[in-house]
Amino acid sequence: MPSVFIKTYGCQMNERDSEAVAAQFVARGYSLAASEATADVVLLNTCSVRDFAEQKALGKMANIAAAMRRTRPGAVLGFLGCMAQSRGEELLGKGVRLVLGTQKFHRAAEYADALLQGRQSAVCDTGAEAGSEAQIRDHVLGTDGTAPAVTAYVSIMQGCNQHCTFCIVPQTRGEERSRAIEDIVAEVRDLVAKGVREVTLLGQIVTSYGRRMIPTRDGKSPFVQLLEAVHEVEGLQRIRFTAPHPKGYGDDLVDAYGRLTKLCPHAHLPVQSGSNRVLKLMHRGYTRERYLEIVGKLRAARPGIGIGTDIIAGFPGESEEDFQQTLALVREADFDHAFAFKYSPRRNTPAAVMAEQLPQEVIEERHARLLALVNERSAAKFRALVGRLEEVLVEGPSRKNPARLEGRTGCNKIVVFEGSPRHIGQLLRLRIVRASAVTLYGDPAIVNLD
Ligand code: 5AD
């Protein structure tokens, strides 16, 4: 039986795409290899959002190709996903025989078979394919046919029409294309029947879900209609989604946080900058005032909601004063957690050719200051939970110490505690007794909410 190993770079959408690819290989009789060393097919599912992510995947592939030349010369090595889409044929060669773009994930197993069996010598397929958004739907199941995890990702759409000036994603993922509500609900229902208790709905811009496909009904956007439909699925306990755009936070979505009890009290709301001048240059479509207004409304609709964000330091033309406004916004918005990124120029994006590119030292220095602030703030948020009762969905053994269990709070914070395997999949109320910078520790005196 041939085997496949898939390594994923980048976002949750990429992780989900990799799972769907793995499921196809399993359906064709492949086993999933534990590492690249023993695999017949090795695929790197890539990210292009920052240059660093591309360099990591290129470096990894060079190492794999060098090792495989000696040990497994017949193996098929391939790049999938965003970097494959944007670099295309230039990635073929040096041991790489498969390059598949973001609308071709569902063909990975078929092409790999053809390459392994010598029916083709190399494949590069990065074309557009109508309906490909509906193909990210299969999940790898455990050997007993149940879901291997308590939580699952569900892809609801592909592509992005926002065209933020720094971002390569519209080029790599193409135009927005959404799946039908019935198909998504059927997938969620099936996952729940197999033991899943929490789903995260995924897309590049989930708040744009169904635009131009599903009409607004009773003032509710298609995305809110989808949330309502998923909320109806019996046995499902929690709903999350990522990534939304602040522009998509109309009152209908804010209101959904107040109404839909399964919707987790958490929102990842990428702000990118706290300066209106920079937000305009980025083509974000909101001001810092509007952003803070949304945050305020969410906190009013769901007290205790956790708010996360993404921020870019060193966008072209960002002055020290602009950057100070970003730091001020971080304090004002009181984020639970924030990813801080160094601006990375991406090919064929408007920002990459803006006149005022900042020196790398300035980008690094601002990023370090931003990181120090967000880390300090998020540690304070963790500490503030000590002594509180938190609702935790138990996901499985702790990754750091498998003798303990771990789960997440509604606000998406990891809680580690001493429990028993029967707690896996249950929603428990745990007393938080200790916090590190990134983990909460729960009291073993457990109250079951199921
Ligand atoms: N440079 C740095 N960070 C970027 N992001 C997107 N494009 C770039 C870029 N060119 C960040 C944004 C986005 C997150 C997924 O990656 O903050 O929200």
Strand-pair partners of 132? none
- Alpha helix ranges (H) inside 302-388: 320-333, 360-383
* Cα dihedral 138, 209, 196, 151 in deg (nearest 10): 100
For residue 310, report the distance from its CA to the centre of ligand 1, in Å: 8
Residue 342 CA: which ligand 1 atom is closest?
2
**pLDDT mean over 53-68:** 97
Q: What confidence tens digit (pLDDT) does each residue in 239-269 have?
A: 999 999 999 999 999 999 999 999 999 999 9
Residue 351 CA: which ligand 1 atom is closest?
10
For residue 178, report the distance from its CA to the centre of ligand 1, in Å: 23
Q: What confidence tens digit (pLDDT) does each residue in 415-429 have?
A: 999 999 999 999 999
Residue 346 CA: which ligand 1 atom is closest?
10
**pLDDT mean over 327-347:** 97
For residue 253, report the distance from its CA to the centre of ligand 1, in Å: 24
Q: In this prediction, what percent of the chain has a pLDDT beyond 90?
A: 96
Q: What confidence tens digit (pLDDT) does each residue in 170-200 have?
A: 999 999 999 999 999 999 999 999 999 999 9
Instruction: List residues near ligand 1 (CB under 6 A).
Output: 49-50, 166-167, 270, 272, 310, 312, 341, 343-344, 346
Selected residue with higher pLDDT from 179 and 449: 179
8 Å CB contact between 150 and 114: no
**pLDDT mean over 277-302:** 98
Q: In this prediction, what percent of the chain has a pLDDT beyond 70?
A: 99
For residue 39, report the distance from its CA to the centre of ligand 1, in Å: 32
For residue 45, report the distance from its CA to the centre of ligand 1, in Å: 18
Half-sphere exposure of 335 (CA within 13 A, CB side): 28
**pLDDT mean over 366-392:** 96
pLDDT (0 to 100) of residue 450: 56
**pLDDT mean over 123-127:** 98
Q: What confidence tens digit (pLDDT) does each residue in 13-50 have?
A: 999 999 999 999 999 999 999 999 999 999 999 999 99
Query: CA-CA distance, 130 to 177, in Å (whole number)?
Result: 9
Residue 332 has pLDDT above 80, yes or no: yes
Residue 86 has pLDDT above 60, yes or no: yes
pLDDT (0 to 100) of residue 448: 64
For residue 98, report the distance from its CA to the centre of ligand 1, in Å: 27
- The best mutation among 86, 341, 364 to test binding of ligand 1, ranked by most ligand atoms within 8 Å of the C-beta, falls on 341
**pLDDT mean over 287-308:** 97
Ligand 1 atom 12 nearest Cα: 310
Ligand 1 atom 13 nearest Cα: 310
Query: CA-CA distance, 41 to 72, in Å (whole number)?
Result: 10
For residue 266, report the distance from its CA to the centre of ligand 1, in Å: 21
Ligand 1 atom 7 nearest Cα: 167
**Which tokens go with 133?**
């958004």
Residue 55: how many other CB atoms lie within 10 Å: 10
Ligand 1 atom 18 nearest Cα: 310
Give φ, ψ of 145 to 5 degrees.
85, 0
Residue 296 has pLDDT above 90, yes or no: yes
- The best mutation among 48, 163, 166 to test binding of ligand 1, ranked by most ligand atoms within 8 Å of the C-beta, falls on 166
Query: CA-CA distance, 432 to 179, in Å (whole number)?
Result: 39
Average pLDDT, rounded, for the chain: 96
pLDDT (0 to 100) of residue 243: 95
**pLDDT mean over 131-146:** 93
Rg (CA), the chain: 22
Spell out where 10-87 has E strands: 31-32, 41-46, 76-80
- The best mutation among 273, 283, 310 to test binding of ligand 1, ranked by most ligand atoms within 8 Å of the C-beta, falls on 310
8 Å CB contact between 46 and 81: yes
pTM to 2 decimal places: 0.97
pLDDT (0 to 100) of residue 143: 85
Q: What is the DSSP letter of 29?
A: T
Tell me which residue of 220, 228, 230, 244 sits closest to 12, measured CA to CA.
244
Query: CA-CA distance, 57 to 79, in Å (whole number)?
Result: 9
For residue 209, report the distance from its CA to the centre of ligand 1, in Å: 21
**pLDDT mean over 109-121:** 97
For residue 40, report the distance from its CA to the centre of ligand 1, in Å: 34
Query: CA-CA distance, 306 to 412, in Å (whole number)?
Result: 8
